[in-house]
Homo-oligomer: A and B are copies of this chain.
Amino acid sequence: MEIPEVVTSIKQATELTGLTEDTIRYYEKIGLLPYADRKRNGHRVYRREQIQSIIFLTRLKATGMTIEEMKRYRELSSLGNDTVPLRLSILEEHHQKIQKEIARLFEVQRIIEYKIDHYREITQNPDLSDTNCASTIKNDL
């Protein structure tokens, strides 16, 4: 989706960011997003970079960053380039966190595959399915 230089309605912003109108207003209300400029009638306007920074926030959110953490990051951004090292370390830490999360997901994936295999065996050979089956690890739950 091409982002225009100026976005002149909250509706358009929702289409570009994937957030709802309510969520955008909520983020502004709690200070996660800066107070947006308004047109003469009070409607919000956004420049392209603002939309891009909202999209970046949605990425962070989608990887489990909390609103408070995102707020902290954004506040540092607004303080200029002196805070780049700090922002860098926040991103590095988050990167590590995601890496661990990925590893955890792979591990559980393996466990689920094991269980799926067991269920497939049962459906193909119902004799294995009696409740006294020795494979308690597979049969649990």
Contacts and interface: CB of A to CB of B under 8 A. Distances in A.
Contact of A112 (B57, B94, B122, B136): B94
Interface stretch (A10-18, A23-31, A36-44, A97-105): A97-105
Copy count, this protein chain = 2
A48 to B, nearest CB: 8
A13 B129 CA distance: 28
A116 B94 CA distance: 11
A52 interface: yes
A20 interface: no
Interface string A111-136: 11101100110110010010100001
Contacts of A104: 62
Centre residue among A60, A74, A105 by max chain B CB count within 10 A: A105
Contacts of A52: 136-137, 140-141
A54 to B, nearest CB: 9
Contacts of A99: 109
Interface residues of A, number: 49
Interface in A37-67: 48-49, 52-53, 56-57, 59-60, 62-63
A75 to B, nearest CB: 11
A84 interface: yes
A85 to B, nearest CB: 6
A57 B115 CA distance: 13
